[in-house]
Amino acid sequence: MSYKSDIEIAREAKKRPIQEIGDKLGIPTEHLLPYGHDKAKVSQDFINSVQSEEDGKLILVTAINPTPAGEGKTTTTVGLGDGLNRIGKNAMVCIREASLGPNFGMKGGAAGGGYAQVVPMEEMNLHFTGDFHAITSAHSLLSAMIDNHIYWGNELEIDERRVAWRRVVDMNDRALRDIVCSLGGVANGFPRQTGYDITVASEVMAILCLANDLQDLQKRLGDIIVAYTRERKAIYCRDIGADGAMTVLLKDAMQPNLVQTLENNPAFVHGGPFANIAHGCNSVIATKTALKLADYVVTEAGFGADLGAEKFMNIKCRKAGLAPSVVVLVATVRAMKMNGGVAKADLGAENVEAVEAGCDNLGRHIENLKSFGVPVVVAINHFVNDTDAEVAAVKDYVDGHGAEAIVSRHWELGSEGSADLATRVAEIADADVAAFAPIYPDDMPLFEKIETIAKRIYRADEVLADAKVRNQLRDWEEAGYGDLPVCMAKTQYSFSTDPSLRGAPTGHSVPVREVRLSAGAGFIVVVCGDIMTMPGLPRKPAALSIGLNAEGEIEGLF
């Protein structure tokens, strides 16, 4: 039997006009700002008007540590949303926007897969509603204004060697990682070394995704530390005077984007911060608005649960006052097999023993998630070649670890395949058994926050950090930043900082290479290992085969 590709399925989608999708949510035409016929932004006035509504239940979808076999976290998020609607619930999906640049490196980006997708797929992987372009513009304006301030006399006494604000572009361009700017003589300013990150790594992105409204957005933008003086005094974006104009540039980008699933159910796709140097969740404004409009909101967090769910709980939920009712942990038989030592080429053959051996990673995540006070359901994202014995092995393991596992076939069957999962998830959410709490308090010293995550989530024995890092953390505590959460930046492939260490390692150390203050976003980034903030293109970039076909359709993007 052969299966259709994601793009074939997406192209066959019977999309409804976006206003019909808005109607389901009670959004009047004048408050739904269309972008084409299948995308729209929700007006701030409408969002204001629903603030007195009761909140729906928040459901987080997260995953085991990713393997090359693929887990299908977004696919499961979309499938679960459709499943809930199928069983008669009023549910919405909230996911992140894709970054444009990386699509030209590797094929990818799609929002879900199989019969659990959000559409229009092509546009969501290209310019979509322009949010990321607006973020690039706002970031670039601040960059230009900093150098312009220095050029015209440097009244703030910025030390050119200590400009912390780099530039960004939404493109994989390794040539820009490290540059010298302002060459060419007096008219072009003072030469200095700097570089570019990809747009999703911009602090502006993290801010947009954590801000409650435009006022909060401007306040946070103003709080960004852009440089230091020779005396190490911090210079803020507010000092440069860029916060107002940046807010103007981000005015539309702040509004959630409404699209639909293949089954014509509503989905917000909004924001997309890095899951390493930022918190990796869709925007607070989208999630909170969805909770006002739907009884169940299914959202996801980046990477595996050790990074994504941890930050969702400790950063996003803490800061936005959100509390998940249930967590869905996505696992696949294939990923268990890889964790159990099977090579990717051999995944096709049944291997129950390897599945059992690989379940430790899953078990660790279950334990961790429960430590936030939230019930956990494991969704076995079914692949058509998974055998019954393999599935049973995962189920048995999960049963023995204080949770339950449910097979979901949304990829193959859409909501028909996810109805069982949806039914059970709704039951648990409705039971109101969650007693959510972040795993560290605001007033814990910063280094202890790092240790708490390293020991309780990663199960490391120790955190290694030299005096410079420890002193820096103490300085920030003295400067009033001690109550911020920490945002861990480490490999997504392992609980440890060694990407090759699969399963459920213990006894390892977490070396902190560097700490960074994202004062506008409101967290301390803790860099453990190499973190790439500007990807490069591969030898044969996907761009080489991207183009329009004779029908004017986009080929090669997926």
The set of catalytic residues is 73, 75, 96, 107, 275, 303, 383, 411
Nearer to its own copies, 169 or 362 (CB): 169
Nearer to its own copies, 232 or 539 (CB): 539
- Asked if 117 and 6 touch (Cβ cutoff 8 Å), the reply is yes
| Amino acid found at 336 | M
Element (H, E) at 192: strand 192-194
Report residue 309 CA to chain centroid gap. 10
| DSSP output for 448-469 | HHHHHHHHHTS--SEEE--HHH
Closest distance between its own copies and the C-beta of residue 4, in Å? 22
Residue 74 in marked binding region = yes
Closest distance between its own copies and the C-beta of residue 108, in Å? 14
Residue 425 three-state SS: helix
Closest distance between its own copies and the C-beta of residue 223, in Å? 16
In b/e form, how buried is each residue of 158-169, taking b as 16+ CB within 10 angstroms? bbbebbbbbbbb
Closest distance between its own copies and the C-beta of residue 338, in Å? 28
d(CA 447, CA 454): 11
- Asked if 356 and 374 touch (Cβ cutoff 8 Å), the reply is no
Which DSSP state fits 96? P
Residue 555 in marked binding region = no
Nearer to its own copies, 4 or 174 (CB): 174
d(CA 294, CA 26): 10
Residue 69 in marked binding region = yes
Closest distance between its own copies and the C-beta of residue 247, in Å? 6
d(CA 18, CA 32): 9
Closest distance between its own copies and the C-beta of residue 127, in Å? 6
In b/e form, how buried is each residue of 296-325, taking b as 16+ CB within 10 angstroms? bbbbbbbbbbbbbbbbbbbbbbbbbebbbb
Closest distance between its own copies and the C-beta of residue 49, in Å? 14
Nearer to its own copies, 223 or 243 (CB): 243
d(CA 58, CA 265): 17
Nearer to its own copies, 214 or 464 (CB): 214
d(CA 34, CA 42): 9
d(CA 482, CA 475): 9
Tell me the longest C-alpha to C-alpha distance in the chain. 73
Residue 81 in marked binding region = no
**β-strand pairing of 376-381 with 257-261:** unpaired
**β-strand pairing of 167-169 with 196-198:** parallel
Measured N-to-C along each axis, helices 243-250 and 131-151 cross at an angle, to the nearest 10 degrees, of: 160
Is the preceding omega at residue 266 within 30 degrees of 0, hence cis? Answer: no
d(CA 464, CA 529): 12
With CA atoms as reference, report the closest residue to 242 among 164, 157, 140: 140
- Asked if 227 and 163 touch (Cβ cutoff 8 Å), the reply is yes
d(CA 265, CA 412): 18
Cβ neighbour number for residue 71 with a 10 Å cutoff: 22
Closest distance between its own copies and the C-beta of residue 93, in Å? 24
Residue 490 in marked binding region = no
With CA atoms as reference, report the closest residue to 313 among 370, 273, 380: 370
Residue 468 in marked binding region = no
Handedness of CA 496, 499, 500, 503 (dihedral sign): positive
Closest distance between its own copies and the C-beta of residue 375, in Å? 41
With CA atoms as reference, report the closest residue to 365 among 402, 323, 418, 337: 402
d(CA 449, CA 162): 27
d(CA 260, CA 252): 20
Could you tell me which residues are annotated as the binding site for ATP? 67-74
Binding positions are 67-74
